[in-house]
Structure 1
């Protein structure tokens, strides 16, 4: 399980590096992007916000993707399902409503990012617990017991 843990943290480090690189590029060309799209007023403010803080917040989406892969490969795909459902309902709606109520469009985007931060944190915590428990449950499913029979029957057709 140590190799899995190492790969998990290496993936997070890679995600940090990639997001920071892209965020820096976006930060330095944000005025060009505003000009390119002819954005003014609120639209320009949203582009500037996205090319700054919000682009860095995509790190948390990357972490959720990493934990999804971890859960799926360690025999707990339902954790991915619940995490994604929760993130896109409970982790989005209340925060965008609060953010939008107080800060308008910027608040909606920041609220969505905050929900991603919370659910990424929970997903990492749960993923580390799954790794500590050894990952895959030792019980063999019915499909695995009859896998050879399934393969042979598929080849006949």
Structure 2
């Protein structure tokens, strides 16, 4: 939508650029400088959901992947949780672990809060087995599943 068309459809609004594109905002609205710690820091995922109008709290995530993919996911979410909640452990992680991963003492296992043993061998026995992933997600239970890349994310 062009800025000219916006003025016709939304005469009380103006287009403001942001990092994620153009947004319509009410004309004449005072924009105060945000204090990130005051305006966006909350104590828990439940408070975050309530404050920002959501309806599903995610406190436990099943990581249905292994290796560096799992490590990067957990590091990113923990960094975000620390910035948002001042608690990097506000979101807990459950990982799937094959006998091969356990024998190799894989880094992602050390980072997890809980692990679930799964069959070894080809990935259709474990990380690409969608039925197994759904079964684990229901049994634990978790509020979200992160499939990562490769394995189940490509099924």
> Does TM, normalized by the shorter one, top 0.5?
no
Q: If each structure's helix is expressed as a fraction of its own residues, which one has the higher value?
A: 1
TM-score normalized by the length of structure 1: 0.24
TM-score normalized by the length of structure 2: 0.24
Q: If each structure's strand is expressed as a fraction of its own residues, which one has the higher value?
A: 2
